Amino acid sequence: MATILRTWSYRYPWLYDGITMLTAISVGGEARLRRLALQNLDLQPQTHVLDLCCGSGPVTQVLVQYSQQVTGLDASPKAIARAQVNVPQATFVEGFAEAMPFAEASFDVVHTSMALHEMEPDQRLKILQEVFRVLKPGGVLTLIDFHAPTNPLFWPGLAMFLWLFETHTSWELIRSGLEASIKEANLRLDQTVYAVGGSLQILRAHKPS
């Protein structure tokens, strides 16, 4: 699935940014979208935060407003190069989320937005197991991603978006959800909140102390 628009949106940053801006209207604008997974999170200047699969750093940019210890990781060298320009206050690392180049218990908070839907199920589980490894005991995972709409009126919009821009892995995520993988990775799910008629899920979990 997916169309040429997916390739173009990754090739042309202005297209990716434009699509994000348009889709963010459904949650009240991009600034609100970028903060959705950060609400009520305790972020202090010395909180070690990882923005996992950070892309060009749109959420990293928000995180550095709270913490001086923000790291972004992404597998794409182009995304990392853009992030370094966009958010010079953060440290960026090129790497794979399923094999992170960080020591055990490095972070208080791991955030990831709109990335897990790009992964195959076994890859997703590996990533969550890596999140468990790099989190400190008591550390928090917060994430936002697609979800099957709880309000049926939102199905046509989501289906159209996934058809135009996403691949089979998004549909698979919507079918299977994330709860089972979070549990299998030994993380404890604390909270699930939905937005845009349930088309987006915001999950919060922690590594037991």
Ligand X SMILES: C[S@@+](CC[C@H](N)C(=O)[O-])C[C@H]1O[C@@H](n2cnc3c(N)ncnc32)[C@H](O)[C@@H]1O
Q: Which residues bind ligand X (CB under 6 A)?
A: 53-55, 58-59, 74-76, 79, 96-98, 113-115, 118
Residue closer to ligand X by CB (options 134, 153) is: 134
C-beta of 89: minimal distance to ligand X in Å?
17
Minimum distance of ligand X from residue 40's CB (angstroms): 19
Nearer to ligand X, 73 or 205 (CB): 73
Residue nearest to ligand X (CB): 55
- DSSP per-residue string spanning the chain: ---HHHHHHHH-HHHHHHHHHHHHGGGT-HHHHHHGGGTT----TT-EEEEET-TT-TTHHHHTTT-SEEEEEES-HHHHHHHHHH-TTSEEEE--GGG-SS-TT-EEEEEEES-GGGS-HHHHHHHHHHHHHHEEEEEEEEEEEE---SSGGGHHHHHHHHHHH--HHHHHHHHH-SHHHHHHTTPEEEEEEEEGGGTEEEEEEE---
- Least Å distance between CB 114 and ligand X? 4
Nearer to ligand X, 114 or 205 (CB): 114
Separation of alpha carbons 90 and 128, rounded Å: 23
- The nearer residue to ligand X, 63 or 115, going by C-beta atoms, is 115
Residue 107 CB, nearest approach to ligand X (Å) = 15
The CB-of-147 to ligand X minimum distance in angstroms stands at 15
Amino acid at 10: Y
Question: Which of 160, 188 has the CB closer to ligand X?
Answer: 160
Q: How far is CA 76 from the centre of its chain?
A: 15
Smallest gap from residue 178 Cβ to ligand X (A):
16
Specify the residue, 21 or 180, whose C-beta has the smaller distance to ligand X.
Answer: 21
